[in-house]
Chain A
Amino acid sequence: MIDMMKTSRRSFLKSATVVGGALLLEFALPTLGPALGGPAGRAQAAAATTGINSFIRIEPDGAVTMTVGQAEMGQGVYSGFAQILADELGAEWSRVSVVSAAPHPDHNNPWLDMQMTGGSMSIRAHYDVLRKAAATAREMLVHAAAEAWGISPDGLSTEAGFVVDAAGDRRFGFGEIAAAAARMAPPAEPRLKDPADFTLIGRRIDRPDLPAKVEGRAVFGVDVTVPGMAYAAVRNAPVKGAAVGSVDRASIDGMPGVIDVVEVPGGIAVVADRWWRAKQAVDALAVTFAETPHDGATTAALMDSLRAAFEASDAALAEEDGDAEAALADATTFVEADYDAPLLAHATMEPMNCTASVGNGSCEVWAPNQSPVSVTAAAAEVAGLEPSQVTVHTTFLGGGFGRRFEPDFVAQAVAASKAVGRPVKLIWTREEDIQHDFYRPAAVARFRAGLDADGNILAWTTRISAPSVMQHVFPGAIENGVDPSNVEGAVELRYAFPARRVDYVMGKTHLDIGFWRSVGHSHNGFFTEGFLDEVAAAAQADPYQFRRRLLAHDARALKVLDAAAEKGDWGAPLPQGRGRGIAFHESFGSLVAQVAEVSIEDGDVRVHRVACAIDCGMAVNPDSIEAQMESAIVYGLTAALRGEITLEEGKVQQSNFHDYELLRMDEMPVVETVIIEGGPPIGGIGEPGTPPIAAAVANAIFAVTGTRIRSLPIRKQNLEV
């Protein structure tokens, strides 16, 4: 999505002030011209006028606090940002701590001009801003030291939390000189460090958030406590969009601790003095919901409606190069196949929750969220306040994966607090969480490819249909009828196809649709790399060598593909009943290739190993990159093997981990990661590991069984060796 909105941004220093003896650097970023539209965009405009913030704070004792405006949801952004800032500043890592920023335009993603955590953008979008912020602080510290010593700042440097002179005779701790530094004129264009002198960037640095996480001290949203707070449990409308009908409050008369029954956006909540009591009461509450036009909705009907797009005559063009139809007519071999992928829930381990305190002319919200601007907008709307009257605290996130971009649960907490006149912590059950998600859209694709007599691809066409991701969040991103988040990963493929055409038909569902780790790439990576494997088979070519031929012009891609093949022992003999599959996919600025090694046991797939190569441009923390590859592979593998949300009578049928199963320890493959630093620009790491894994596994299953997997999840297939 995001690359299309990317725009070149420059930050500039707004002011430097001493606050409580600390050097506080405040930055402002110019605003993006075109508004993104939607509630988030409108709130962003309003929020731009409120609050102050900083990236770096230096205490008199030399402790350095990095304020990070990106949500820490497991991806290691606190560590990555702090590494960049501390390295450029010359800070001592052991004196660096990280705090979560209040929402403020200073922390906007410079490419989008809004504060959000997603799109695997944190490091790549903020890298230059962070370095400039830290370099500015460093030069101000250096100038303050030079003035104190009565010498020229030339030759002074910073190291491990000190400003040192050229001879190494004199030094100031950052804390000693911070107040004086804040009075220095900030440099217009601070000099950035030579990357050859980096001491932290590129190293395996221990993440600063982990000690609290292994000791149970980390405060997630669900852990927030506010004096005087009550608790709320929710029953959301079983069919999305159904209004609350009748509520029989007498049905919970006498239940302990109940304070009130409150209608909230999307459902009904019971507020009680304890969450367990609220949950017991909301379960017991006699409530009806109104009929909706979607009470008969089924997954089968949804998939049929998407497949109808294969015959549509009015598809929107997403990409065209050459005359694919003419080239197909010239082909000696023609390959055609239909693919589909189901609706998916995010299932973050921490269920949706929010604590809200609505007062007289104010609203304070504690929410694990990926979009503080959306949280602000939702809270303001429900509270009947201006965005400037809303204060948002972003806690640690017990998983995000795109789900926490949405503020639906925030609106409910605010409504509950407003109704009962005291702070309320609202927590969804797992059942509510799985049945009221903003789902990864189901998607279908029809592919056609034509080959010449030598097995070379002449043309490649793709028709995709899926319900729109962008329609409700960033409607402005839809251009010429194409939602870029539905077609990403099916367009701009790096393969040398002489002619190609990709078109699209927007699907419809009454369900909420949202960002799900790697978004459109999550299905299109499976579709394109699965079909490409079919084409390789039609060409009687080795799947790895076939991809090499199509990437012969692309040294960077070849290097990634070769690294995965080598790590995955491509071509080496395997025991009977085992097979390998390969897939390559570019997303979020990174190139990833994976080789999966699988066997079939009792009709079920076992994934033993995944060799994963990633070129993400440069590595800020190699350990975080490896962790994200492991994570993205498990996330994608869970979906590939098991993941499916289905609908009957308009309702989501799955409800908890017994019927929306996640991979466990005993199913975790060995993941071996090769990191390639192919040079700038930096690529993302949170999502790019997910798109190839389903295809790598499906292609490995074909190698073992001869069966093509064209529909997910794989468990629906009756597999035999």
Chain B
Amino acid sequence: MISLTVNGTRQDLDIEPETPLLWVLRDEIGLSGTKFGCGAGLCGACTVHVDGVATRACITPVEAVAGSEVTTIEGLSSDLGRKVQQAWLAQQVPQCGYCQPGMIMAATALLAESPRPSDADIDAAMTNLCRCGTYARIRRAIHAAAEA
């Protein structure tokens, strides 16, 4: 039995310990906001917070986060998280939207650590992929959220 906290709720899971956190979130707990993009930690569509740190859930075995606090896009209820989401809307960032939960989780973690990130900070932290090419708007939204 593996126990962890997801969006404030304790979860006790009887599951193969190597199962990636992504599939635990999506198929065991029913939180589908965290997306599957590559399965190899390359695209960031699966980004969640593990104890506040942006983490790629598709390559994180669930046993590695036993006892941790996991936050997904559905549980992003902090003031900062709301600010980021508001900035995303104000800049009309998403196109298809598939990568955006991961982008928002990555951006929120960046802003928590670096409240006034430079463009270089954003480049370094935001390595998630967006096939629609919303990068310029993401950059604007992060700056806007920092100033909100």
Which residues on A are within 8 Å of B, measured CB to CB? 72-76, 206-207, 209-220, 222-223, 225, 231, 256, 274-277, 347-351, 396-401, 427, 429-430, 623, 627, 630-635, 656-658, 662-666, 668, 670-671
Contact = CB atoms under 8 A, between A and B. Distances in A.
A391 B45 CA distance: 30
Contacts of B88: 210, 214
Contact of B137 (A347, A396, A627): A627
A350 B27 contact: no
B64 interface: no
A631 B32 contact: no
B143 interface: no
A74 B132 contact: yes
A662 B134 CA distance: 13
Contacts, number: 169
B54 interface: no
A156 B36 CA distance: 52
30 contacts: A212-B97, A214-B85, A214-B89, A214-B104, A215-B33, A215-B85, A216-B32, A216-B72, A217-B33, A225-B30, A275-B27, A349-B37, A349-B45, A349-B99, A349-B129, A430-B39, A627-B95, A630-B137, A631-B95, A634-B135, A656-B42, A657-B38, A663-B133, A664-B127, A664-B135, A665-B122, A665-B126, A665-B128, A665-B135, A668-B133
B92 A206 contact: yes
Contacts of B136: 630, 668, 670-671
Interface in B123-147: 123-124, 126-139
B100 A214 contact: yes
Contact of B133 (A73, A217, A429, A631): A631
Given A664-B135, A665-B122, A658 B23 contact: no
A712 B9 CA distance: 51
Chain B residues touching A, majority SS = loop
Interface in B98-125: 98-101, 104, 122-124
Nearest to B86: A214
Contacts of B99: 349
B57 to A, nearest CB: 12
Contacts of A209: 94, 97
B137 A635 contact: no
B97 A213 contact: yes
B40 interface: yes
Contacts of B38: 430, 656-657
A471 to B, nearest CB: 27
Contacts of B12: none
Given A657-B40, A657-B43, A630 B97 contact: no
Contacts of B128: 664-665
B20 interface: yes
A158 B65 CA distance: 57
A276 B27 contact: yes
A84 to B, nearest CB: 18
B96 interface: yes
Interface residues of B, number: 54
A277 B123 CA distance: 36
A216 B74 contact: yes
Closest 6 CB pairs of A and B: A216-B33, A634-B133, A398-B98, A74-B95, A213-B97, A74-B96
Contacts of B36: 222, 351, 427
A671 B140 CA distance: 13
A256 B16 contact: yes
Interface in B12-49: 16, 19-20, 23, 27-28, 30-40, 42-43, 45
B37 A216 contact: no
A656 B96 contact: no
A72 B97 CA distance: 10
A656 B131 contact: no
B104 to A, nearest CB: 6
B73 interface: yes
A430 B20 contact: no
Nearest to B37: A349
Contact of A399 (B34, B85, B96): B96
Nearest to A433: B38
A665 B34 CA distance: 20
Given A215-B33, A216-B73, A396 B123 contact: no
B42 A658 contact: yes
Contacts of B92: 206-207, 210, 623, 627
A662 B38 CA distance: 12
Contacts of A220: 35, 98
- Among B19, B27, B97, B130, max chain A CB count under 10 A is at B97
B77 to A, nearest CB: 11
B97 to A, nearest CB: 3
Contacts of B97: 74, 209-210, 212-214, 218, 396, 398
Nearest to A635: B133
Given A350-B35, A398-B35, A664-B135, 11 more contacts: A206-B89, A210-B97, A214-B101, A215-B73, A216-B32, A276-B20, A349-B37, A350-B96, A401-B131, A658-B42, A663-B133
Nearest to B72: A216
- Among A277, A398, A656, max chain B CB count under 10 A is at A398
Interface in B52-99: 72-74, 85, 88-89, 92-99
Nearest to A658: B42
Contact of B43 (A349, A627, A635): A349
A668 B38 CA distance: 21
Contacts of A631: 95, 132-134
Contacts of A664: 126-129, 135
Contact of A398 (B20, B28, B30, B96): B96
A68 to B, nearest CB: 15
A630 B30 contact: no
A349 B96 contact: yes
A223 B131 contact: no
B117 to A, nearest CB: 12
A634 B30 CA distance: 33
B42 A657 contact: yes
A350 B89 contact: no
A223 B133 contact: no
Contacts of B73: 215-216
A675 B137 CA distance: 18
A255 to B, nearest CB: 10
B124 to A, nearest CB: 8
B11 to A, nearest CB: 15
Contacts of A274: 23, 27-28
Contacts of A670: 136
- Among B133, B134, B136, max chain A CB count under 10 A is at B133
A218 B134 CA distance: 17
B89 to A, nearest CB: 6
A75 B131 CA distance: 12
A222 B19 contact: no
- Among B73, B96, B104, B137, max chain A CB count under 10 A is at B96
Contacts of B45: 349
A98 B36 CA distance: 26
B141 to A, nearest CB: 10
Contacts of B72: 216
A503 B135 CA distance: 39
A630 B133 contact: yes
A498 to B, nearest CB: 39
Nearest to A72: B96
Nearest to A79: B92
Contacts of A662: 129, 131
Contact of B94 (A214, A430, A635, A656): A214
A630 to B, nearest CB: 6
A76 B127 contact: no
Contacts of B42: 656-658
A427 B36 CA distance: 10
Nearest to B104: A214
